[in-house]
C-alpha cells in the first residue's frame, strides 16, 4: 500500500471530522510527501 494512498485516506477522515479548512491545510503536506516518493 502506498503512503500517498494512506495520507489521502487520512485526509478524507480529517475532512469529515474537522471540515474543509483542515483538509486544505493538510493538502500541501500530502503533496510534498508524494513528491518525495
Query: Residues 1-36: pLDDT tens digits?
Result: 687 888 888 888 877 888 778 778 888 887 888 787
pLDDT of residue 1: 60
pTM value? 0.43
Handedness of CA 18, 21, 27, 29 (dihedral sign): negative
pLDDT of residue 8: 83
Q: Which residues contact 26 (CB under 8 A, 6 or more apart)?
A: 11, 14
Binning pLDDT at 50, 70 and 90, where does residue 37 land? low
Amino acid at each position: 500500500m502506498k503512503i500517498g494512498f494512506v495520507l489521502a485516506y487520512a485526509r478524507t477522515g480529517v475532512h469529515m471530522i474537522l471540515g474543509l479548512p483542515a483538509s486544505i491545510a493538510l493538502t500541501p503536506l500530502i503533496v510534498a510527501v508524494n513528491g518525495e516518493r
